[in-house]
Structure formats: C-alpha cells, structure tokens
Chain A
C-alpha cells in the first residue's frame, strides 16, 4: 500500500501527515486528527452524516480519499462558530432542529453552504438543499425552520 505525504488545512490549521493512499478523508479527520464531530452513517455517500466543507463546498468525506484533499481547506463542525455560535448552530438550537445529534454536524455544514450561496432560500429550496442529508429523528420540519432562522440571523449580522 503506497503512502503519501499530504497537507490539509482543517478549520484554519494546517496538518501534514503521511497517509495510506486508501485512507478516507473522514477517517483522516476522525482518527488521525481526533475531530470526532464528523460522523459516519453509511459508507455509500447516501446519508450525509460525514459532510464537511471541502474548499467551501459540501462533500461527503466517507467517499473522498484523504490524498484527494491534499492542499485543500476543510471545515468541520468544530470549525463552525469560532468560539461563539455560528447562526446555523443558533438556528438549530432555537428551532429544535436536532434530536439525537448524529446527522446534525453534516446537516449544519450543508445548511451553511446553502445559505452562503442563497441567503434567503424558500422552503422548497431548503428542502432540496438538504436532501442529500438524511435525518431519522426530526422529520425535517424543524430543520427547515432552523435554516430559516439561521438565514434571519445571518441577515441581522450583516445589517449590523
């Protein structure tokens, strides 16, 4: 098994490691770096629990090789908020957008990317935007409300 040296910037901090070619990005994040907020739900790119932002774009890190992220900027749930709470985290809390919390990190990162691209999405646009992330607990209604609330908070922040 060939190994490669990679440098990945995760939540603003650069990490250089020697990794096997087959190591998945999600395992690099969880096992090598100990950032366990990124979860694994299916291994088949179906559930989105492992969603991170790869150069700002949501990516399911269970089907990205760590070597493919060489030189990339990755944001995980631990990088949301910068000490305080990101509006998406605030929205999910206020609107009860989570129950067991397992899909939540991936769901929040997808929502963040959605709102950065479309600051004022309709309900239909939110539903389409999060449709790559499965949640078994909430029935999505409160996740939609959480994203709407995050949208309001982001607008308030940018107005302020």
Chain B
C-alpha cells in the first residue's frame, strides 16, 4: 500500500501553491464590470447630535454617484441592525453618533479615489454631547446616558455558580488573595482589513456578496432575515468568502460597511466595493477584551478552595459581542481552569460607553483568555502567599488524570487532561531549577530576571446543540464528500479557513479514513451555493466540529464501499476487513478491492438495490466541547534603564489531543504565542476623557515584529479527546489564551522581592520603568 499520509504527517500545504505566487484571491482582488466604490465619512466626536448633513458637498465631487445617510436607510427600515446579543447597532445614525469614528454617511463613486474625496468633502454639522468612557463612571447614578432607547448604561448582569457557598468557603480559607486587573481593549488587526463587494441583480432579484467573513452561511441567513421586508430571500443570496487574510474573530460580525455596500448596490444597480483602511479597521471594528476584573482566590491548608470573579465589561455603545446566544459573557466560567476546587462564582455586568461596539474574540473561544488570565495570575499570587513555588503549588492543586471526565465547580465536564505531565515537561525543557538558581545569583547582583508559568485549560469546539446556538441556529458543522469515478474526491465544508490550512488538514482526515491521498482530494469552503450549511470558523471549532464531520462522512462512504466491495468480490459483507484504502476478504488478503476500485464500480457496476454514486454528508453535533491545555514557562530580563521587558526564553508545551498535521499545529502555536505576548507587552486601544481614540493606527497600535517575538520552543503531550472521532481537540487559539499570564507572572516574579504583586498590561517600557522608579531600582545616569 502506498502511504496515504493521513494523521500525524507534516504534509506540505495545498493552499500554498497559489499564495506564494501571489495568486490568492482576497476581497480587494475581486473586480466586477461596472463596479462602484464606497467610502465612509466618520464622526470626529465620541458623542454628538447630527444637526445637518450637507450631502451636496460630497455630490459636488467629480465621480460621486450617491450619498447614503441614516435618513436614506430609515426609509428602508435599515438604519439599525440587530446584534447577535439581542441588542441593536446603527448602520448609519439618524440623529446621534455614539463613538469617535462611527459611520456617518456612505459615499458611492466611480473610483476608489473619488469615493475618498467625497467622504473628505462631506460637511456635517454636529452639536457635541457629554461623553462617558469609563464603565465604572457609566454605572453611577446621573451618569451620561449612552443610549436613548435604554433606561441606563447597565446592559446585563450575568452570574454563574454558587455565590453563598463561595463566600462561605472563602471565609473558611486560611489564605485569601484579592486582585483587581484590567484586560484592556485590543484589536485582532489581521493584516487584511475587512471589506466586501455587493452585486445586486435586479432582474433576477439575486444578491451576490463577496465578503471577508469567517461564517458565510450564518451571514447569509442574517442577511435574509434583516432584508426579508425588502423582498430578499435566502435562496437568492449567495455569500462567497474568498481567501481571507487573517480573521482571529474580527471577521465574524456584520459590520455597517457590508450593509452599506449592499444597500448601495441595490440603489445603483451596480456592483459596489467597500474596503476599509487600517484606521477604520482599528477604530470602528469590533474590539476584544475590556474586562475589569476583581478576583478573589482562597486556599485552606495549601489546597485551592474557592474562586470569585466580579467583572465589569465595557461593551461600547452596543452589545455587539459574538457569543453563542445563551452566553452573554461567553465561556468565562471556564475560570476555575486547571485546578481542582469546589466553590466558584463568577459575575459580569455589561456596560454601555461612548466607544465602538463589541466585543469579539481575539483569537480565543469566547472570553476564555479573560478567565485564564484571572485564574493564572491568582494562582501565582496564592502560591506565594502560601510560601510555595508557583510550579509546586500548581502541581499539587491540578485536577489529577484519574479525575477525568471532571465536572468543574462551574458545571463544565472536562473531557480529558494530564496537566502535571505538561508542566513537568515544560519545566524539564526550560531547566526550571537552573533558572531559579540563576535568578537568585542575578538578584544578588541587582539584575532583574523573572520566571512565569501559565498552566491553562481551554474550552473549544462549540458546540453541543443542546447548549450552543447563534440566533437560534445550532452550532453543528458540516462536511460533504463526493468520490468521483476515478477515485479522486471533492469535499466541502461549512467552515472557512483564514490561514489555518483547512485545505490540507481536512484532506488528511479523509485520507486517514478512506485511504485516498490528500493530493487527490479537493477541499472547498466559503461559497454558500455549494458548501453545506455550517456555522463557520472561530473559537477553535473547525477540527472539533467540521473535522469530526469529515471523519463521520468518510465512514459513511466506507460503509457503502463495503457493500460495493462485497458485490465485486462476491463475498459476504461481514467477511470483509477494512485496512486503510481497501477491503479484503478475511483470511485472503490478496482478494481485495481498493477504494479507487470501489469508486469506479459505484458509477459503472453498482449492485442492484443500491443507489449509484459514492458520496456522503455529515452535520456533526459534538457531544461535548473539547478541553485543550498546556503549560507555558516564560523567562524575562528587565532593563533597569529603559523598563524594557525582553523575553529571553519561552517554552510552550501544548496538548491538543491527536495532531493531524504537526507542522500546521506548530505553526498555529507559534502564531498564537505571538498574539499572546502582544497584549501582554505592546497592544492597547485606549481613549481619553473626550472619547478620542489612541492606538487607532499601526504607528500607535504596536503589533509584534520579528524583533519583539522570541524564538518559540515547543513541546507536546498527547491526551486524546475521548469523544472526538479521531481524538483531536482545537489548537488555533490555545497559545493566545495561555501566554499572557505567563509573561505577567514572569515580570511580577522579577520584581517580587521589591514588593511588586501585580502588573497591568500591556507592560510597556514606560509602565515598567515607572514601577522600577517607584521602587527605587530604575537605573539612572
């Protein structure tokens, strides 16, 4: 048998052939005949009444064909659109803007430059209104009210767990630590911004939407629902998600620009392209994080006993989070992490402020990063309060391998894990004890060196349909596989790669199940006219859901193949044995039919009573989520003169269950780690008291370059998921979730002897230098 290179093989990626030749087809590469361009005029104020929009000032610009305002849209009942969290947000304001850079009007023109000229020329009269940017201030009585249609700035209160039991348990603890921490606003900043080309065909009543979306099918349904009153219907809407230049959660929501381009195409009868620029991307697209957390963790006789998290979540002017419907705070209640503790309670209060709406994930499965940051910081603090090394404390308090499946105090059933093995491996790889000895020597010399650990547990692969839906649509995902007569295949999925390499990994899963080599399998995603319905790619769900569907659909094909093979071999089905790529007659391994033989027969010589053809579809509804985990150890040196934190070494041991393509898994972890240290050290979007954004472009919002990024050192353990068909878990986001507290713990560790107990992020040189200065250790000339 030829090697079919299924699971465990670092197969080179099928998609690279076009990418390395510059032949990827991204949104801005879509060019249709007669296409117009749309640009957006945006508000300079964070809160203001619009008194007049002088449309004539834009229309006077050469090439401008139309100006669309909130009043235009109001006529079509499209000025507002629903969010996924039962809130609403403006497509364009009818009278009031709620954040700086909010869309005010759309300008449609014959060229990209003319559209931009029109947006720049548009004069708008504003009456500025009072602004509230601090969510704590927004909750006070008498605070400026952000939303005219709401009673207050308080959006929701959500809580989970046993509040009284947790308070009682904390009261009974001998050691309790409390810490406030803010996880600031950040932005995924994929290198490709968002955009779309809307093409309305008035004769056919058909809309084609080329769109940077991670969830094309869900978008199609949303468009059908919000435009039904205008006569659009789902069978006349085709969403095509082309090659995506990075998503990370930022390409899940529906942005006003998409709706505007669609409206403009309907109004003009021509295709309309909208591509946002980087400033618009950072200033107006959904943000991530912005959780203000008060955490309390207690232990009794060295055993972790109770966790409490009280949280204020700044959602901007609308709750436009991209969470499953029943989870206003996402999966934040994974907060007990890797630890065996009996009492926990978490609460989140969502608040309106004069900022852009959100929040979405930043390469993370629905607020898991916030939860992991809290528990991993608190465990470190509690370890030291107990006078114990943070590694030893973790090893003692981990959920033990024999406790799986493990039901957490907050109700999750963890599928599998071996946390101690991962941490011990990371400690071996980095030489933990040697580093501690080095640190003691350096400390004696006045040098600042720190070692930080994070032993995270993730929760990915939403999800079981009994719990998880988006707008009522259950969060299954799908695979449809067709085997052609010559034994080659096409497979289509409801997910959508944004760089994860689905064309390769899905092909490998099918290769493993059917023995057809990956290069003989064409994988397609992103066209709602051809792919089966699915909820898309985010929250590390592709492998847990659509990857599982690929297995199940393959197995259906194999079972039909068994009937065909029995017919061809004139044998009883029960006497056939499957080995990768062929059936043979038990005891006579030479009497065999390959999957290619079977495929040919399915079209040329199928048994009577059996339908011709060889294809299958699976809509996979996972029985549970998967719980990837890992242990990271970060070693930092701090420059006493500049406050610069330099990551000297970073060891990451990940366990994502069975690995399909180890090369791709490592690549996902490298990228995730880099997006993990980014918010720890560099990235933040903040606002001044007037609601003016800082960090709204790449000169101020600092994405890591190759210089700030260390050489990642990876290790692995493999604890299969017991419920996934091939034992795999998700991995795309683990590192982003796990890395930040490792860096913070390392910096706090470097400064612990000075009395430093906490560092807020990002730990910029200025912030760190100020702490050094306060403690009298900043080097000065």
Asked if A89 and B278 sit within 8 Å, CB to CB, the answer is no
Asked if A102 and B245 sit within 8 Å, CB to CB, the answer is yes
Chain B residue with minimal CB distance to A79?
A: B22
In terms of DSSP, what is the predominant structure of the interface of chain A? loop
Asked if A101 and B245 sit within 8 Å, CB to CB, the answer is yes
Which B residues from 491 to 512 make CB contacts under 8 A with A?
498-501
CB B711 to nearest CB in A, in angstroms, measures 6
CB B706 to nearest CB in A, in angstroms, measures 4
Known contacts: A102-B26, A105-B22, A130-B706. The answer to whether A139 contacts B670 by CB under 8 A is yes
In the complex, chain A residues whose CB is within 8 Å of the CB of B709: 127, 139-141
In the complex, A134 Cα to B270 Cα: how many Å? 35
In the complex, chain B residues whose CB is within 8 Å of the CB of A98: 16, 19-20
Chain A residue with minimal CB distance to B709?
A: A140
In the complex, chain A residues whose CB is within 8 Å of the CB of B498: 100
Which of A46, A77, A130 has most B Cβ within 10 Å?
A46
Scan B664-681; emit 1 where CB is below 8 A from any A CB, else 0: 101101111111000000
Chain A residue with minimal CB distance to B669?
A: A139
Say yes or no for A63: interface residue by CB 8 A criterion. Answer: no
Asked if B670 and A141 sit within 8 Å, CB to CB, the answer is yes
- Our count of residue pairs bridging A and B at CB distance below 8 angstroms stands at 177
Known contacts: A81-B21, A85-B20. The answer to whether A141 contacts B711 by CB under 8 A is yes
Chain A residue with minimal CB distance to B675?
A: A136
Asked if B703 and A27 sit within 8 Å, CB to CB, the answer is no
Chain B residue with minimal CB distance to A141?
A: B670
Asked if A104 and B19 sit within 8 Å, CB to CB, the answer is yes
Say yes or no for A28: interface residue by CB 8 A criterion. Answer: no
CB A48 to nearest CB in B, in angstroms, measures 9
Asked if B22 and A43 sit within 8 Å, CB to CB, the answer is no
Known contacts: A78-B22, A96-B667, A98-B16. The answer to whether A131 contacts B706 by CB under 8 A is yes
Say yes or no for A39: interface residue by CB 8 A criterion. Answer: yes
In the complex, A103 Cα to B712 Cα: how many Å? 20
In terms of DSSP, what is the predominant structure of the interface of chain B? loop
Chain B residue with minimal CB distance to A101?
A: B19
In the complex, chain A residues whose CB is within 8 Å of the CB of B699: 44, 46
Say yes or no for A71: interface residue by CB 8 A criterion. Answer: no
Asked if A104 and B20 sit within 8 Å, CB to CB, the answer is yes
Known contacts: A92-B20, A138-B667, A142-B670. The answer to whether A100 contacts B244 by CB under 8 A is yes
- Other-chain residue from B12, B244, B671 in contact with A94 (beta carbon distance below 8 A): B12
- Other-chain residue from A22, A37, A44, A135 in contact with B113 (beta carbon distance below 8 A): A22
CB A45 to nearest CB in B, in angstroms, measures 9
Asked if A131 and B707 sit within 8 Å, CB to CB, the answer is yes
Say yes or no for B413: interface residue by CB 8 A criterion. Answer: no
Say yes or no for A42: interface residue by CB 8 A criterion. Answer: yes
In the complex, A131 Cα to B119 Cα: how many Å? 34
In the complex, A142 Cα to B13 Cα: how many Å? 14
In the complex, chain A residues whose CB is within 8 Å of the CB of B500: 99
Say yes or no for B1: interface residue by CB 8 A criterion. Answer: no
CB A115 to nearest CB in B, in angstroms, measures 15
In the complex, chain B residues whose CB is within 8 Å of the CB of A135: 191
Asked if B192 and A42 sit within 8 Å, CB to CB, the answer is no
Known contacts: A44-B278, A89-B21, A93-B16. The answer to whether A136 contacts B671 by CB under 8 A is yes
Known contacts: A81-B21, A142-B667. The answer to whether A101 contacts B706 by CB under 8 A is no
The number of residues on chain B lying at the interface, defined by a beta carbon within 8 Å of a beta carbon of chain A, is 57
Which A residues from 121 to 147 make CB contacts under 8 A with B?
123, 126-128, 130-144
Asked if B16 and A36 sit within 8 Å, CB to CB, the answer is no
In the complex, chain B residues whose CB is within 8 Å of the CB of A126: 706
Known contacts: A22-B113, A89-B20, A141-B711. The answer to whether A102 contacts B191 by CB under 8 A is yes
Say yes or no for A40: interface residue by CB 8 A criterion. Answer: yes
Chain B residue with minimal CB distance to A22?
A: B113
Known contacts: A101-B15, A102-B246, A130-B706. The answer to whether A47 contacts B24 by CB under 8 A is no
In the complex, chain B residues whose CB is within 8 Å of the CB of A133: 705
Which A residues from 1 to 47 make CB contacts under 8 A with B?
20, 22-23, 27, 30-31, 35-44, 46-47
Chain B residue with minimal CB distance to A85?
A: B20
Say yes or no for B542: interface residue by CB 8 A criterion. Answer: no
Which A residues from 53 to 87 make CB contacts under 8 A with B?
76-78, 80-81, 85
Known contacts: A93-B12, A135-B191, A142-B670. The answer to whether A100 contacts B706 by CB under 8 A is no
In the complex, chain A residues whose CB is within 8 Å of the CB of B533: none
Chain B residue with minimal CB distance to A27?
A: B112
CB A97 to nearest CB in B, in angstroms, measures 9
In the complex, chain A residues whose CB is within 8 Å of the CB of B16: 92-93, 98, 101
In the complex, chain B residues whose CB is within 8 Å of the CB of A132: 705
In the complex, chain A residues whose CB is within 8 Å of the CB of B670: 138-142
Asked if B21 and A96 sit within 8 Å, CB to CB, the answer is no
Say yes or no for B529: interface residue by CB 8 A criterion. Answer: no
In the complex, A47 Cα to B498 Cα: how many Å? 18
In the complex, A44 Cα to B699 Cα: how many Å? 8
In the complex, A20 Cα to B608 Cα: how many Å? 70
CB B360 to nearest CB in A, in angstroms, measures 15
Asked if B21 and A136 sit within 8 Å, CB to CB, the answer is no
In the complex, chain B residues whose CB is within 8 Å of the CB of A141: 670, 709, 711-712
In the complex, chain B residues whose CB is within 8 Å of the CB of A94: 12
Which B residues from 273 to 328 make CB contacts under 8 A with A?
277-279
- Other-chain residue from A96, A100, A127 in contact with B663 (beta carbon distance below 8 A): A96
In the complex, chain A residues whose CB is within 8 Å of the CB of B243: 100-101
CB B214 to nearest CB in A, in angstroms, measures 12
Say yes or no for B364: interface residue by CB 8 A criterion. Answer: no
Say yes or no for B110: interface residue by CB 8 A criterion. Answer: no
In the complex, chain B residues whose CB is within 8 Å of the CB of A85: 20
Q: Which residues of B contact A (CB under 8 A)?
A: 12-13, 15-26, 28-29, 112-113, 188-193, 243-246, 248, 277-279, 498-501, 663-664, 666-667, 669-675, 697-699, 703, 705-707, 709, 711-712
| Contacts A/B (CB < 8 Å), 10 sampled | A41-B278, A46-B278, A96-B12, A99-B499, A101-B18, A102-B190, A105-B22, A123-B711, A139-B674, A144-B711
Given contacts A42-B277, A47-B191, A143-B706, could you give 8 more A-B pairs where the C-beta distance is less than 8 Å? A36-B29, A43-B278, A102-B191, A132-B705, A134-B191, A135-B191, A136-B188, A141-B711
- The list of the 8 closest CB pairs from A to B, nearest first, reads A37-B22, A100-B499, A102-B245, A101-B19, A139-B670, A77-B22, A46-B698, A99-B499
Q: Which residues of A contact B (CB under 8 A)?
A: 20, 22-23, 27, 30-31, 35-44, 46-47, 49, 76-78, 80-81, 85, 89, 92-94, 96, 98-105, 108, 123, 126-128, 130-144
